[in-house]
Each structure stands twice: as C-alpha cells, then as structure tokens.
C-alpha cells in the first residue's frame, strides 16, 4: 500500500487482520472524525466506542499521519477506527509527559524540515530553538535554507548555520532555479514522512509546491460524498509526493508554539551536553558553579557566549512551560476532587435524611 506502509506497520497490524479490519492512514483529522486512506479508497471515519473508552485523552485518538485499523463492513454507513497503531514519533502541542494536556499535530514523522530564509543573515538563535522542537518529536531534523538567490553570501550563511546545527544536515535551496530540491527529495524517498516547520514567509508553501510539482491542486483536494448525493471538497493534510515519500502540511503545525522540552534542547546542543559530563556537579547549571567544564570552554573560546546564552534561555523557557503545565494539571485535579467531595457530601446528606 502507498503512503509509507512499511514492514513495521504490517507487523503491528497483524493482530487486527484476523478481525477483518483494514489498515489505513489518517490524511486529515477534524474534530471527532478522520479522513482515512486505505488501499481501496479514502473514507471519513469516526473513532469506535471501544477506542473512545480506552483513550485517556486526545493523545490516544487518531491524528494526521497515524496508521489505524478500520472496521468498514459494507452495511456500516460510517467506518469506525478501532485502533491507532503505536507511533514511531509525534509532533505535539503541550507537554509530552502529560498525556491529558497534549494535542498530536502530526504522527509517524521521519523528517522535520526546519525552514529558514537567508535573504538576510540567518537567525541562529531561532534555528537552535526550532531544532530543539524538532528533536523533541523523535524525528530527524534537517535544516533547509531558502531564498539563496536573495542572499549576499549563501556559502557563508550555510557555514554559520552548520556551526549551530550540530549533527544535522543543512541544505541550501533556491525556488527560482530549483537548486536544493533534489536533496530534499532524497531525504523523503523510500516512503518516509516529512513535515515542515518555520516562520511565516520562510518559504514553506513554495517548497511544498516545488515538491508536489505540476498537479498540486489535484493532489491536495479530496472530493467527498456525504452519502446524500452532496459533494464537498476538503484538503488533504497528508500528501503523497510524486517522487516518493509523504508530506504533512497542516495549519496547526504552522502555528506551532516554539518551546521545546529539555530533552529536545539537550539534543540540539550536543556540544554543551558533552561538556556537561565533565562538570564537577552532576546537576551543574553552568552559571557560576566551580569546576564547570562548560564555563571553562567559554573561557577558552571553544564555546561561543551567544550559544550558551541561547541554551540558558531555551532551558528557562522549557522549565517555565513545564511548571505552567504542572500548575494547570494541579488546578484540574483540585477541581475534580472538589466536585467529588461535593458529590460525596450530597450523598451523605441524602443518606442522613433517610
Ligand atoms: N526569491 C525567492 N523568493 C522565494 C523563495 N522561496 C520563497 N520565496 C518567496 O517568499 C515568500 C514567502 O514564501 P511562502 O512559501 O509563502 O512562505 P511560507 O513559509 O509558506 O509562509 P506562511 O504561509 O505564512 O507560513 C513568497 O513571496 C515566495 O514567493 C526563493 O527561493 N527565492
Ligand atoms: Zn557546568
């Protein structure tokens, strides 16, 4: 089957085969329903009661990119999503450690293209930030520098970005000439799934169009029948590209908040992580601690001040975000227990009246 159906999914799907379920991939997710592509066609499906009962939150419900097991007998008006197969990765909004507070923006993503324009000097701090976020998902980040034709010195920009994108491929593109599009295709062929993140105006749509080629309008639109003879057109958010591979492009991803977790930050700053192993204290904050290997590297010039500042800033933001999530959850718990104790009081009051 198309859309990245690989051996892994076939193996995971095995338990559902005997129940007569169909494998499919979610190509668009709306409130309460999902558009699912199967080997046969594209159908609008809703989560089954069984799936809803088992779900602990939005995290367990179908999101764009998910592989699902579909119950679709001919006598059923609307096919049911019976199960969501275990994800390899997920781009989420909210704190990944807190399932009740998380929304999945894209699932089973292999590559995150971090799109950044170089019409002006690249914003290295922004790239570090977006890389933290990308690493968080579990997918592999690739930095894509756009608008090379407008850059005074694309080579220099490339080098500077490589210095902060450690262990990450950096590709320079120019939409006018098509330079750099080939390498992007190479990253996603073999049925890999990619998403694009980056600021407004960075050149994401332009890249998507370049990857989709000629028939992009037709590639994006699905005509759906509502069963009463009426037809509507909706946009696919997961799109197979002609050269192989899959792109996920959703409005939610574009509006993605920009705080990674501390894990993502650690992956985006492997140089600082490496140095930290040699700090005297295991929980060294690299601020003013004695025996800090990170501060030593700063002193010797091996580590730029800007980069350490950026690391500290992102870490603080991640901690604040995590604390906020904790506070919100505590408030939620309190409200819940208040409601429960109110209910309990009411129950006892009634008992007492008997
Ligand atoms: N000269 C030049 N212009 C480009 C290039 N890539 C994109 N642009 C232009 O940059 C502008 C913004 O590009 P988009 O692709 O719309 O940017 P986007 O990231 O999709 O923006 P949002 O939809 O707001 O998130 C458009 O006017 C593009 O034509 C390039 O390689 N060279
Ligand atoms: Zn230290």
By alpha-carbon position, which residue is closest to atom 29 of ligand 1?
A: 206
Angle at 170 between CA 89 and CA 65, to 5 degrees: 25
**Per-residue pLDDT for 196 more than 80?**
yes
Closest CA to 279 of 266, 293, 299, 295: 293
Instruction: Kindly list the distances between the CA atom of residue 139 and the CA atoms of 41, 87, 120, 156, 196, in Å, as whole numbers in the listed order.
Output: 28, 11, 28, 27, 12
Give the span between the Cα atoms of 245 and 186, in whole angstroms: 9
pLDDT digits (tens, 9 = 90+) for 30-82: 878 999 999 888 899 999 999 999 888 888 899 999 999 999 888 888 999 99
For the stretch 107-146, pLDDT in tens is 999 999 999 999 999 999 999 999 998 998 899 999 999 9
Closest ligand 1 atom number to CA of residue 196: 19
Apex 104 CA angle, 99 and 107, nearest 5: 120
Give the chain's length.
354
By the CB criterion, residues less than 5 angstroms from ion ligand 2 are 279, 284, 286, 292, 294
- Distances in Å between the alpha carbon of 69 and those of 6, 12, 222, 267? 15, 10, 21, 33
- Expressed in angstroms and rounded, the spacing between residue 173 Cα and the centre of ligand 1 is 12
Which atom in ligand 1 lies closest to the alpha carbon of residue 146?
A: 31
Longest dimension (CA), the chain: 86
**Could you read off the pLDDT of 17-28 as tens digits, one per residue?**
888 899 999 999
Q: Whole-angstrom Cα distance, residue 219 to residue 238?
A: 10
Contact 177, 127 (CB under 8 A): no
**Which is more confident, 248 or 334?**
248
Residue 254 Cα: closest atom of ligand 1: 25
Q: Give me the pLDDT at residue 232, please.
A: 79
Q: Give residue 329's pLDDT.
A: 63
pLDDT computed for residue 96 by the predictor: 47
**Tokens (6 digits) for 161:** 């970005």
Least confident of 6-10, 38-42, 82-86: 6-10
Token digits of residue 129: 């930030």
Establish how many alpha carbons lie within 13 A of residue 168's alpha carbon, considering only the half-sphere containing its beta carbon.
34
φ/ψ of residue 239, rounded to 5:
-130, 130
pLDDT value, residue 251: 76
Instruction: Give the mutation target among 157, 201, 208, 249 for probing the ligand 1 site: most ligand atoms within 8 A of CB.
Output: 201
User: Which residue ranges form the domains of the chain, and what is each CATH number?
Assistant: 7-86 (2.40.50.140), 105-254 (3.40.50.300), 262-344 (1.10.40.50)
Q: Please report where in the chains the tokens 């807190």 appear, as a residue.
A: 98
Query: Using CA atoms, how far apart are residues 22 and 81, in angstroms rounded to an integer?
Result: 10
Find the mean pLDDT for residues 212-230: 72
- Planar angle of CA 168, 97, 70, nearest 5 degrees: 85
Q: How confident is the model at residue 1 (pLDDT cuts 50, 70, 90)?
A: very low
pLDDT at residue 306, as a whole number: 95
CB atoms within 10 A of CB 236: 19
The closest residue, in CA terms, to atom 6 on ligand 1 is 203
pLDDT digits (tens, 9 = 90+) for 266-306: 999 999 999 999 999 999 999 999 999 999 999 999 999 99
What's the gap in Å between 64 CA and the centre of ligand 1?
25
Three-state secondary structure readout of 177-226: CCECHHHHHHHHCCCCEEEEECCCCCCHHHHHHHHHCCCHHHHHEEEEEC
What is the predicted pLDDT for the residue at 17?
Answer: 87
**What is the residue whose two structure tokens read 């000629």?**
214
């Amino acid at each position: 089957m198309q859309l990245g159906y690989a051996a892994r999914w076939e193996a995971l799907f095995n338990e559902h085969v005997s129940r007569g379920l169909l494998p499919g991939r979610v190509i668009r997710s709306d409130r309460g329903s999902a558009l699912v592509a199967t080997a046969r066609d594209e159908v609008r499906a809703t989560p089954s009661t069984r799936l809803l009962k088992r779900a602990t939150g939005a995290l367990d419900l179908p999101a764009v990119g998910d592989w699902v097991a579909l119950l679709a007998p001919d006598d059923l008006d609307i096919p049911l999503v019976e199960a969501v197969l275990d994800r390899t990765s997920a781009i989420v909004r909210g704190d990944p450690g807190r399932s009740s507070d998380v929304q999945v923006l894209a699932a089973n993503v292999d590559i995150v293209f971090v799109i950044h324009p170089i019409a002006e000097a690249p914003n290295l701090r922004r790239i570090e930030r977006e890389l933290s976020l990308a690493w968080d998902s579990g997918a592999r980040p690739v930095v894509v520098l756009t608008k090379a034709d407008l850059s005074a010195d694309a080579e220099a920009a490339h080098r500077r970005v490589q210095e902060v994108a450690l262990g990450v491929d950096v590709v320079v593109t120019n939409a006018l000439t098509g330079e750099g599009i080939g390498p992007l295709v190479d990253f996603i062929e073999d049925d890999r799934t990619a998403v694009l993140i980056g600021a407004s105006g960075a050149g994401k749509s332009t890249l998507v169009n370049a990857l989709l080629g000629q028939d992009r309008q037709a590639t994006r639109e699905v005509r759906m029948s509502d069963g009463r003879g009426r037809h509507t057109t909706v946009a696919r958010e997961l799109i197979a590209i002609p050269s192989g591979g899959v792109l996920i492009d959703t409005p939610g991803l574009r509006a993605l908040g920009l705080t990674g977790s501390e894990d993502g930050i650690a992956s985006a700053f492997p140089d600082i992580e490496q140095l930290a192993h040699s700090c005297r204290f295991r929980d060294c904050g690299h601020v003013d601690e004695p025996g800090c290997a990170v501060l030593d590297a700063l002193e010797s010039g091996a580590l730029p001040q800007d980069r350490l500042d950026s690391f500290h800033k992102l870490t603080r933001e991640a901690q604040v975000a995590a604390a906020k999530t904790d506070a919100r959850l505590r408030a939620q718990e309190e409200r819940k227990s208040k409601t429960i104790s109110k209910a309990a009081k009411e129950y006892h009051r009634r008992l007492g009246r008997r």
